[in-house]
Amino acid sequence: MMIIVRLSPRSDLNKIWNYVENSITKEEATKYVTPLYATQAEGMMSVAVVFNVKDPDNIAHFLTENLAKCDECHHTSTISLMKPMFFPIPKKRPGTIHRFVVRIYTHPRYYKRIYDYLVNYKYPFNLFPIYISYSLGDEDIVMNIAADSPETVNKFVREKIRNLEGADTVLSYPVVKAKRFAPLEKLIEEQQKYLAETSKEISESEVDKDFDWVEDFEEYAMLTGAFPRDI
């Protein structure tokens, strides 16, 4: 299963990022725990580390032992991704593309309705999902999407999600840093385990299997000058 651990700083988020970037793979990779990648989103004031674990208890060593060495960490949030749905990266996409986190807060009666709506939505050329999942941690549903601009994401959130019945609060954040720990092949293997049913109908000729959906988005941002104050 996949787990997100969000690390919040005492005062300096860069120190958290440096710890994650330099220490995770040295100490955490075991046959029970695989660090997949980490991201930092502008405005969230935390670094998110995504793990694949055999059992939820497997993450305890990282939380209680290794994380104790990070003096800058003020507190953590641990979120189990439930029913994650991944989507393939299309070959036909905008020339510049950035990654965003969308967090949705809602009442339990609307969980399934909103989740199903997002999974089955017909996304436009300039915006597509990477994954959608119940999180039930800091938020109720979390969504990673790729788009050509913040304006595209803001319009999608405003017109297509906030108008849904039960969508009490919907927030979006641009991802400004990303670090992949697992080999790309391992990342794709995890993606394939949770591939959305609608995605299985897409021809393989339309899917970009070589695109690194963790680090290549950061590369696009750097090349195009997006979010320069954070990169």
pLDDT for residue 96 is more than 90: no
Instruction: Tell me what pLDDT residue 218 has.
Output: 47
Instruction: Tell me what pLDDT residue 54 has.
Output: 87
Instruction: Tell me what pLDDT residue 219 has.
Output: 45
Instruction: Tell me what pLDDT residue 66 has.
Output: 85
Q: CATH top-level class for 83-230?
A: alpha beta
Q: CATH top-level class for 2-82?
A: alpha beta
Q: What is the domain partition of the chain in residue ranges?
A: 2-82, 83-230
Beta-sheet strands, E only, within the chain = 2-9, 33-41, 47-53, 73-80, 82-86, 98-105, 127-134, 141-147, 169-180
What the block records as the tokens of 88 is 């393939």
What is the C-alpha separation between 224 and 59, in angstroms, rounded? 37
**Mind listing the pLDDT tens digit for each residue in 122-142?**
999 999 999 999 998 789 999
- Please answer whether residues 195 and 88 qualify as being in contact, where contact means their C-beta atoms are separated by less than 8 angstroms: yes
- Answer yes or no: same fold for 2-82 and 83-230: yes
Confidence of residue 29 (pLDDT cuts 50, 70, 90): low
pTM over cut 0.75:
yes
